[in-house]
Amino acid sequence: MNITSLIQNCLALLPAPNVSSTESVAIGKQPKRKLVLAYSGGVDSEILAYGLGQFAQINSAYECLLVHVHHGLSTNANSWVDHCLLQAKSYNLPCVIKYVQVNLAPRTSIEAEARNVRYQALLAELSVNDILMTAHHQDDQLETVLLALKRGLGPKGLSAMGKVQRVNQQQWLVRPLLDCSKDQIEGYAAQHNIGHIQDESNFDGKYDRNFLRLDIIPKLKQRWSAIAATASRSAELCALQQSVLEEETVKRLPQVQKLIGVDNVLEVIKLATFSNAWQSLLLRGHMEQLGFAPPSKIQGEQILSQLLDAKEDANIEVRLADVVIRRFKNNAYFLAESIHSLKPLHKVEMLEEIKLDEVIHNGIDLPSGQRLLGKYIAADLEPLLRLPLPTELVSIVYALPGSTRSHPHFRSKGRELKKIWQELELPPWKRGHVPLLCYNGKLVAAIGFWIEKSAIATSGETGLALSLNNT
């Protein structure tokens, strides 16, 4: 087993990094990509650190770094830090120690909490295009597949861990040892006399992975010696099928989505035209696209039943861990709990005066839980807001009376706000969160929806384009 070659083979699967002209001072000079190893000091990460030290000597294009996360859960945690620093020095690699706190609240999984804070600490070391490397191996893959079966997951969960995966759309995760067995790893460590630590928690059977590792997998291997390799092949097949499903789902999603203000909603009537299987896939794809955890099989069935089968005027509200799902007319809204819990604002003036330069350069946070951004653009084809006069005070208000008349740029005539909101199919519970921009107290724009016709910048002038992001 050649660890350096395994690392090189993994990195060869990555696409070339996107480098802007500002990131390259001289022509032909590429900034170094950081290659960060999640370094626990256990035998798996230890042999990978050993190989990374050799890799670093012959690959100057990468900035190689070991990162050890100190959870403080073991009385041996400080001695593990000493071990990692000493070993890193012998490999001629820098080593960073990250101290984290694990939430030990009742009814929380210590395993899951420790994993979450560990990955947060590791990813904090990465910039765009950087690479995180972990020491997961073939037996870890088998554990992951078995846990996915226990949780009732589908092809995506059963695809387990990939050798190369994108993280946060900006970084990469690689697993060079994924095709190596635990026996191979321990044999390599013994052959090269590589010292390592032994985490006593690995022998505590109350943790699911340890139960599988200590009690179940040895029996499976005794009966079927190649079970880890064959499970890994099954995971690869599931990953292949999942990638095809995701490609097809992405193609179909625009057929059932539309934008209302800043909300990407599902059009229920259009969703109903698809088969039951596609309804489930589109629902899950939409939620993942918005950044929410996909529902379980039962949750997905309940959501679809509520959205598709209830009467049009029914007050639908489904709550999951991180999202509130509501329906209005034929549109389904998926709202983060933090945004949904905000009470509607009533004629709240955000600031005595809004500084547009601050909006343009940094953006400003609004009481509605959104961030207001802007940019100056030469008015041409798209309608833009005219700039305020020096004598005009810029402010934002919320929930103007429904009888307030407005003339949106997309209408030939003006009408009352209440009627405009109905025309746009905006739910009553969203209307009190729409920021209304005023010049000297006069409405000039419903941000995210329209500009008042009288406040549109004339062609050739510099206009103001405003947008909202959920914070």
- Per-residue model confidence (pLDDT) at position 327: 92
Residue type, 194: I
Same domain, 129 and 54: yes
Q: Per-residue pLDDT averaged across 411-439, rounded? A: 90
Q: Per-residue pLDDT averaged across 114-125, rounded? A: 89
- Per-residue model confidence (pLDDT) at position 115: 85
Backbone angles phi, psi at 76, to 5 degrees: -95, 5
Percent of residues, the chain, with pLDDT higher than 90: 49
User: Is 224 within a domain?
Assistant: yes
Residues 56-87: tens digit of each pLDDT: 999 888 999 999 999 888 888 899 999 999 99
Dist CA 65 CA 270 (whole Å): 50
- Per-residue model confidence (pLDDT) at position 103: 79
Q: Per-residue pLDDT averaged across 455-469, rounded? A: 88
Same domain, 376 and 269: no
Which is more confidently placed, 454 or 20?
Answer: 454
203 Cβ contact partners less than 8 Å away, ≥ 6 residues apart: 210, 214
Mean of the per-residue pLDDT values of the chain: 87
Residue 272 reports pLDDT greater than 90: yes
User: Is 346 within a domain?
Assistant: no
- Per-residue model confidence (pLDDT) at position 136: 94
Q: How many domains does the chain have?
A: 3
User: Is the pTM here over 0.85, yes or no?
Assistant: no
- Out of 287, 311, 340, a domain closes at 340
Same domain, 388 and 295: no
Same domain, 324 and 383: no
Dist CA 323 CA 338 (whole Å): 9
Same domain, 180 and 297: no
Reported as a pLDDT band with limits 50, 70 and 90, residue 24 is very low
- Identify the domain containing residue 382 by its residue range: 356-470
- Per-residue model confidence (pLDDT) at position 27: 43
Which is more confidently placed, 160 or 173?
Answer: 173
Dist CA 82 CA 379 (whole Å): 62
Query: In angstroms, what CA-CA distances link 418 with 145, 203, 261, 401, 425?
Result: 53, 64, 16, 8, 11
Residues 305-335: tens digit of each pLDDT: 999 988 777 778 888 888 999 999 889 999 8
Q: CATH number for the domain including 329?
A: 3.30.465.60
Which is more confidently placed, 202 or 450?
Answer: 450
Which is more confidently placed, 116 or 19?
Answer: 116
- Per-residue model confidence (pLDDT) at position 21: 41
Same domain, 9 and 115: yes
- Per-residue model confidence (pLDDT) at position 30: 63
User: Which pair of structure tokens corresponds to residue 437?
Assistant: 């921009």
Same domain, 21 and 52: yes
- Per-residue model confidence (pLDDT) at position 441: 87
Residue 175 reports pLDDT greater than 90: yes
Same domain, 260 and 241: no
- Per-residue model confidence (pLDDT) at position 307: 92
Same domain, 119 and 208: yes
- Per-residue model confidence (pLDDT) at position 25: 44
Same domain, 68 and 171: yes
Residue 198 reports pLDDT greater than 90: no
For the ranges 32-41, 174-183, 335-344, the lowest mean pLDDT is seen at: 335-344
Residue 50 reports pLDDT greater than 70: yes
- Out of 245, 280, 313, a domain closes at 245
For the ranges 16-30, 104-118, 309-323, 356-370, the lowest mean pLDDT is seen at: 16-30
Residue whose tokens read 């307030």: 404
User: Is 166 within a domain?
Assistant: yes
Residue 340 reports pLDDT greater than 80: no
- Out of 214, 245, 276, a domain closes at 245
